[in-house]
Amino acid sequence: MTVSVSGTLPSGDGNGLSAIVTDLVREPQKVHLAVVLVDCRKVVTDADTGDMIPTVRLRRIEVVEDPEDRKLAENLMRRALDRRTGRQALPYDLEQEIRSAFPDA
């Protein structure tokens, strides 16, 4: 299924990217971690195929810089990816226990 993204960033305090503007200019290849809230701005129907293509609107975006928060966000992203792709995700507590046993892994 196809999804389109609106080219507009949230306005006002919804746009947390302003906190890293300097970093983006200084190191354009660096990947930054952010949490994003989205909804559907519109749905376009392809007249030829009948496919309905939603356009995602960014409602809020916040950069995650704190190391502890980044680790939590990484765990959430991995678990969401596992669920979406059908891989088996460990229960959160067990995953944390295993990670703590192998801190260098």
The pLDDT-based confidence of 89 (bands split at 50, 70, 90) is low
The pLDDT-based confidence of 105 (bands split at 50, 70, 90) is low
pLDDT in tens, 6-64: 889 999 999 999 999 999 999 999 999 999 999 999 999 999 999 999 999 999 999 99
Task: Provide the CA 69 distance to its chain's centre, in angstroms.
Answer: 14
CA dihedral 56, 61, 66, 69 (to 10 degrees): -40
Sequence ranges of the domains in the chain = 1-63, 66-99
